[in-house]
Amino acid sequence: MTDQIKPQPGIMDIALYVGGKAKVDGVANVVKLSSNENPFGPSPAAQDAIKRAAHEVHRYPSTDHLELRTAIAQVHNLDVDRIICGVGSDEIIHFLCQAYVGQGDEVVYTEHGFSMYRISTLAAGGTPVEVPENQRMTDVDAILNGCTDRTKLVFIANPNNPTGTMIGLAEVERLAKGLPEGAILVLDGAYAEYVAGYDGGAGLVERRDNVVMTRTFSKIYGLGGMRVGWGYAPKPIIDVLNRIRGPFNLSNLALVAAEAAVRDRDYVERSRFENTRMRTWLAEALAEHGVPSDTSMGNFILARFNSPAEAHACDDFLQKEGLIVRRVDSYKLPNALRITIGDEASCRRAAHCIGQFK
Ligand code: PMP
């Protein structure tokens, strides 16, 4: 990495992550490896764009996000009219549930699937249907078996959070083809940029009328605090989602930051390269300490322990050492900890501490 990409100093919302747990009092150099953020922060171009736009925040922002949508369309070679932007991809997930799910309708996702699928399904009055994964891999047959004529949406994240596993596009297409009439497949590509050459399923969206792709600026672009995500969908679905979307859902600072970030391809490339390098290193270092993980395609690894008690004890130990990682009990993975790939120093520290714990 060149010196343009610098690790973030210090650390912030520990209280937010730790929730019910004690804060890390009196520990210097606390490192947060719990929210799958880019350890190098946002691209300098995005930071400059925010500074340049700061004097304009008395103005309401664009309602159609045309400049951001155009940038996304140009960079990814997509149809600008099939893009919708939201307050994080969370909001796109929420719009989809609000638009397509009602009382008695079912939404299918996998047992280790992202938490928002359940939250947004319940908020829309729908019924969540969680189907098993096969050794932490998305299982297309299990999803198809979980579908009924009441299924309205099917969510899969590819790569998946928190497992890091990924299925091929041929499998995804088999799923899309096998869905019941009227059901929509939502392909959550929050981590797509970490997979070189992967289009997140955009090509599938263009070939089929029952596939939607969601993407985010919170991960590789390092803009989690700005809250920008987008969706790519057949035009009739975009029209429906735009009827739900508030006219000023994104702030002008968020819009300019995301536009500059998506155009800075060099920053994305270098962030991906560095993530792959340290992810490989960390997985090997943990394996040497007797902590296995599946091959991850995202910016995190799922470290597996022998029991929930051991995973929790390791989390407590790491926290005392100033390392914040993520327990994933709520994802039905109580014997695992999810560790975000940090910069090299943080990864070395994490491996060292886990080695000490073991
Ligand atoms: N999908 C997946 C799989 C995620 O892991 C996340 C963030 N943790 C999101 C969607 C939502 O991201 P955001 O709302 O920040 O775009």
Give the per-residue pLDDT at 10.
37
Longest dimension (CA), the chain: 57
Output the CA–CA distances (angstroms, integers) from residue 96 to 112, 124, 208, 213, 249, in the order listed: 20, 10, 17, 11, 15
89 CB near ligand 1 (under 6 Å): yes
H or E element that contains 97: helix 88-100
Per-residue pLDDT tens over the stretch 154-179: 999 999 999 999 999 999 999 999 99
* Best residue among 72, 119, 219, 330 to mutate for probing ligand 1, ranked by most atoms within 8 Å of CB: 219
**CA gap 236, 287 in Å, rounded:** 48
Q: What is the distance in A from the centroid of ligand 1 to the CA of 178?
A: 26
Per-residue pLDDT tens over the stretch 220-243: 999 999 999 999 999 999 999 999
Counting from 1 in the atom list of ligand 1, the atom nearest the Cα of 162 is 5
Look at the alpha carbons of 70, 72, 75, 77 in this order and tell me if their dihedral is positive or negative.
Answer: negative
Counting from 1 in the atom list of ligand 1, the atom nearest the Cα of 227 is 15
Counting from 1 in the atom list of ligand 1, the atom nearest the Cα of 91 is 14
Mean pLDDT of the chain: 93
216 CB near ligand 1 (under 6 Å): yes
Q: What is the pTM of this model?
A: 0.93
Owner of token pair 């799922």: 302
**CA gap 300, 275 in Å, rounded:** 9
